[in-house]
Structure 1
Amino acid sequence: MNDLKRMGLAVTLPELEQSADWLKAGARDVELQDVCEPHVMDGDWRATARRSAELLSGHGGRVGVHAPFWNIATAALDSQVRAVVQARLNLGLDYLEAVGGTHLVVHSPFYFFGHPLVAHHDTLEAEIALTHLTLEPLVSRAADLGCTLVIENILDVYPGPLLALVASFRSPHVRLSIDVGHAHIMGGRGAPPAAHWLAQGASLLGHVHLQDNDAATDAHLAPGGGTVHWAGVLRELRLSQTDPRLIVEVVPGEVERAMAWIGALEEV
Structure 2
Amino acid sequence: MPTRPILGAALDHANLAAHRDWLLEAPRDLELQAFVNAEVLDGDWSGLAAETMQLLDGHKGRRGIHGPFWGFSIASYEPEVRRIVTRRFHQALDVCAAVEGTHVVIHSPFTTWGYNHRGLYPADADRMLEAASDTLEPVLSRAADMGVTFMVENIEDIEPQDRAQLCNALGWRALELSVDTGHAHYAHVSTGAPPVDFFIRAAGARLGHIHLQDADGYADRHWQIGHGTILWPSVFAAIAETGANPRLILELRDKAGVIPSARHLAALGLAE
- TM-score bracket, normalised by the shorter chain, equals over 0.9
Match of 1:176 in 2: 177
Matched, 1:147 2:148: yes
Match of 1:135 in 2: 136
In structure 1, distance between residues paired with 2:172 and 2:46: 30
Match of 1:255 in 2: 258
Structure 1 residue 235, shift from structure 2 partner? 0.9
In structure 2, distance between residues paired with 1:120 and 1:221: 37
Match of 1:231 in 2: 233
Matched, 1:20 2:20: yes
In structure 1, distance between residues paired with 2:145 and 2:44: 25
* Between 59-68 and 120-129, the greater mean CA deviation after superposition: 120-129
Structure 1 residue 119, shift from structure 2 partner? 6.6
Matched, 1:74 2:74: yes
Asked whether the equivalents of residues 140 and 173 of structure 2 are also in contact (C-alpha less than 8 Å), the reply is no
In structure 2, distance between residues paired with 1:120 and 1:142: 36
Q: Which amino acid aligns with 1:63?
A: R
Q: Deviations over 1:82-126 (max 9, x none)?
A: 111111111111111110011111101113416559478722222
How is 1:107-122 mapped onto 2 (pairs within 5 angstroms)?
Answer: 107-113=107-113, 118=118, 122=122
How is 1:88-103 mapped onto 2 (pairs within 5 angstroms)?
Answer: 88-103=88-103
Q: Which amino acid aligns with 1:48?
A: L
Asked whether the equivalents of residues 198 and 237 of structure 1 are also in contact (C-alpha less than 8 Å), the reply is yes
Asked whether the equivalents of residues 180 and 212 of structure 2 are also in contact (C-alpha less than 8 Å), the reply is yes
* Between 254-263 and 52-61, the greater mean CA deviation after superposition: 254-263
How is 1:22-37 mapped onto 2 (pairs within 5 angstroms)?
Answer: 22-37=22-37
Match of 1:197 in 2: 199
The SS at the match of 1:261 is helix
- RMSD after superposition: 2.1
In structure 1, distance between residues paired with 2:219 and 2:131: 30
Asked whether the equivalents of residues 262 and 271 of structure 2 are also in contact (C-alpha less than 8 Å), the reply is no
* Between 26-35 and 103-112, the greater mean CA deviation after superposition: 103-112
In structure 2, distance between residues paired with 1:160 and 1:120: 20
The SS at the match of 1:201 is helix
1:3–1:238: structure 2 CA closer, same or farther, 3 Å change rule? farther
- Following superposition, which runs of at least 4 residues in structure 1 exceed 6 angstroms of deviation? none
1:4–1:118: structure 2 CA closer, same or farther, 3 Å change rule? farther
Q: Deviations over 1:24-50 (max 9, x none)?
A: 111101100111123322333221111
In structure 1, distance between residues paired with 2:173 and 2:155: 22
In structure 2, distance between residues paired with 1:32 and 1:134: 23
Q: TM-score, with normalisation over the residues of structure 2?
A: 0.91
1:230–1:86: structure 2 CA closer, same or farther, 3 Å change rule? same
Between the two proteins, the alignment pairs up a number of residues equal to 267
Structure 1 residue 165, shift from structure 2 partner? 0.7
Unaligned ranges ≥5, structure 1: none
In structure 1, distance between residues paired with 2:103 and 2:271: 28
Structure 1 residue 162, shift from structure 2 partner? 1.3
Q: Deviations over 1:114-160 (max 9, x none)?
A: 65594787222221221011011111110111111110000111212
Percent of aligned positions with the same letter in both sequences?
36
Q: Deviations over 1:61-97 (max 9, x none)?
A: 1001110110122111222111111111111111111
Q: Which amino acid aligns with 2:238?
A: E
The SS at the match of 1:34 is coil
In structure 2, distance between residues paired with 1:241 and 1:162: 19
* Between 246-255 and 59-68, the greater mean CA deviation after superposition: 246-255
